[in-house]
């Protein structure tokens, strides 16, 4: 009975939504709270977030970014200062209107993003070109309430993220950083999470409210939906004008600086889970696995002492991988295998009487199920090599999924076929906002994902409106 309760009861291909929910809960990553769209991140999930934090924090700090913390509550008069910004976020904002039994004199927004409260402070701190560049980041949670069907990690109402907010004297500096940050994000997805992505520029319709332009990474899930993995926005002088941020330049003139904002959230964890995991449960890239190895000793009463003694020696030998030893009694080895597969431990080492006799161990990869008989003297070296290979091959598998899902098209009929087959279209496009709006309405939500940086010459018409095409862009359905 315990086996049935523990295992994943649906196939990933048959019912992705139910499969995803079961993986999150049965692998002990998420617990649901009584507030829809607000989830409890259990320690196994938060450990993954810590690895992402650790990786990005080092990257940011090498460029001079410093961490800070700004208030959760934003007065309404600040939130409405930049008109395009508030227009874009209005449907998402949750408001605090009372404290105890007293009605507040001004509504306070629960932070959907922090531009407004941070830039009010920036106006006080920036007076001279010597105060620039100003580069701050904060790790925090935000609340956005605009949608009806939340999905843990992928589309949560409250989620954890980092948001960087930087200020420069020149546009050239800001442009350079906006792309640099996107590169950091792309490296994080690849090196930490083993996920391939499509970098590019968002369309006018999809860009961040109040930005001059938005850059993003787009990822693709096995259920045929794309996910915006992160963003890096160049705000131009829009916010510095609205918030009266100005500095006295070296030429003696007062100027408005140029700004960027950029962020990556716990959505990244959902992408990783959805791409890598399988019908047995969670598959974790070794770089985010807290315990990279589990040893399952196989023993009877007559050989228990010898097997456990040697298993403990192996655990000590493999200490650097934070290796677990499952010496629990009352559970069969097969039951233990299933449990650790469900929880995504990258490598399992089986060790029984025959292995003791032959001075070997059985090493099993979680992602492929491949078994190898390894001499004990080579075990540590083999484990290290196998974990690195697994990390690399998970990324390669993700990249293959992404590339095989992209179809080059040139007509509306081909686009409809791509949507039906749950793929991504690379299409010649006019780039006009009205064209995208009409297309989105016709397809019940399909939209542009990103416009690739590298563009082939376009000598044809837009696949949708048949006006002259200016660019190629990726299109599809998205969370």
pLDDT mean for each 10 residues of the chain (479 residues): 67 97 97 96 98 98 98 93 77 94 96 95 98 98 87 96 98 98 98 98 94 97 96 97 96 98 98 98 98 97 95 98 96 96 98 97 98 98 98 98 97 96 97 96 95 94 97 96
**Alpha helix (H) ranges present in 80-199?**
83-89, 115-125, 171-191
Domains defined for the chain, CATH in brackets? 46-276 (3.30.930.10), 286-401 (3.40.50.800), 406-476 (3.30.110.30)
Bridge-based pairing of strands 198-201 and 213-220 is antiparallel
Q: For residue 216, give Cα distances in angstroms to 138, 213, 348, 361.
A: 19, 10, 37, 45
Q: Please tell me the predicted confidence (pLDDT) of residue 82.
A: 74
Residues 6+ apart with CB under 8 A from 236: 171, 211, 212, 258, 259
Angle at 79 between CA 73 and CA 85, to 5 degrees: 130
Q: Is the dihedral of CA 173, 179, 182, 183 positive or negative?
A: negative
Q: Please tell me the predicted confidence (pLDDT) of residue 110.
A: 96
Phi-psi region of 224 (alpha: psi -120 to 50; beta: other; left: phi over 0): left
pLDDT digits (tens, 9 = 90+) for 306-345: 999 999 999 999 999 999 999 999 999 999 999 999 999 9
Q: Please tell me the predicted confidence (pLDDT) of residue 2.
A: 43
Distance of CA 168 to the CA centre of its chain: 27
Report the length, in residues, of the chain: 479
Q: Residue 475 in 3-state DSSP?
A: strand
298 near 307, Cβ under 8 Å?
yes
Tell me how far apart the alpha carbons of residues 58 and 92 are, in angstroms, rounded to a whole number.
Answer: 31
Tell me whether residue 39 is exposed, middle or buried, using C-beta atoms within 10 angstroms of its C-beta: 0 to 12, 13 to 18, 19 or more.
Answer: buried
Which one, of 49, 54, 47, 53, lies nearest residue 322 by Cα? 47
Tell me how far apart the alpha carbons of residues 313 and 174 are, in angstroms, rounded to a whole number.
Answer: 54
């Amino acid at each position: 009975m315990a086996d049935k309760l523990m295992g994943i009861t649906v196939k990933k291909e048959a019912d992705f939504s139910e499969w995803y929910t079961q993986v999150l809960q049965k692998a002990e990553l998420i617990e649901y709270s009584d507030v829809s769209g607000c989830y409890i991140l259990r320690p196994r999930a938060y450990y993954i977030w810590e690895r992402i934090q650790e990786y990005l924090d080092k990257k940011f700090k090498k460029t001079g970014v410093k961490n800070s913390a700004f208030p959760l509550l934003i007065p309404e008069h600040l939130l409405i200062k930049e008109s395009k910004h508030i227009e874009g976020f209005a449907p998402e904002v949750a408001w605090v209107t009372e404290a105890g039994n007293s009605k507040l004199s001004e509504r306070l927004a629960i932070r959907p993003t922090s531009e407004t409260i941070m830039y009010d402070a920036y106006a006080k701190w920036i007076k001279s070109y010597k105060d620039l560049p100003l580069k701050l980041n904060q790790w925090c949670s935000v609340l956005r309430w605009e949608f009806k069907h939340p999905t843990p990690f992928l589309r949560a109402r409250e989620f954890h993220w980092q948001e960087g907010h930087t200020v420069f004297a020149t546009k050239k500096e800001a442009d350079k950083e906006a792309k640099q940050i996107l590169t950091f994000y792309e490296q994080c997805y690849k090196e930490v999470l083993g996920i391939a992505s499509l970098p590019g520029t968002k369309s006018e319709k999809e860009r961040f409210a109040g930005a001059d332009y938005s850059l993003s990474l787009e990822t693709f899930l096995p259920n045929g939906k794309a996910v915006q993995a992160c963003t890096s926005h160049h705000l131009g002088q829009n916010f510095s004008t609205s918030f009266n941020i100005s500095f006295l330049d070296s030429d003696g003139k007062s100027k408005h600086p140029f700004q960027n904002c950029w962020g990556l959230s716990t959505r990244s964890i959902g992408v990783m889970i959805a791409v890598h995991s399988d019908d047995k449960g969670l598959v974790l890239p070794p770089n985010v696995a807290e315990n990279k190895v589990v040893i399952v000793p196989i023993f009877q009463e007559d050989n228990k002492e010898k097997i456990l003694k040697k298993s403990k020696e192996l655990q000590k030998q493999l200490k650097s991988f934070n290796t677990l030893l499952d010496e629990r009694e009352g559970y069969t080895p097969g039951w233990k295998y299933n449990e650790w597969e469900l929880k995504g431990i990258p490598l399992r080492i089986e060790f029984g009487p025959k292995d003791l006799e032959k001075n070997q161990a059985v090493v099993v990869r979680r992602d492929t199920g491949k078994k190898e008989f390894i001499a004990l003297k080579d075990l540590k070296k083999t484990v290290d090599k196998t974990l690195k290979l697994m990390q690399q091959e998970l990324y390669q598998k993700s990249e293959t999924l992404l590339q095989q899902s992209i179809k080059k098209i040139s007509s509306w009929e081909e686009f409809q076929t791509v949507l039906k087959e749950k793929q991504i279209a690379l299409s010649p496009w006019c780039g006009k906002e009205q064209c995208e709006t009409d297309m989105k309405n016709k397809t019940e939500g399909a939209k542009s994902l990103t416009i690739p940086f590298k563009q082939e010459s376009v000598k044809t018409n837009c696949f949708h409106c048949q006006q002259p095409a200016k660019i190629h862009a990726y299109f599809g359905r998205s969370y």
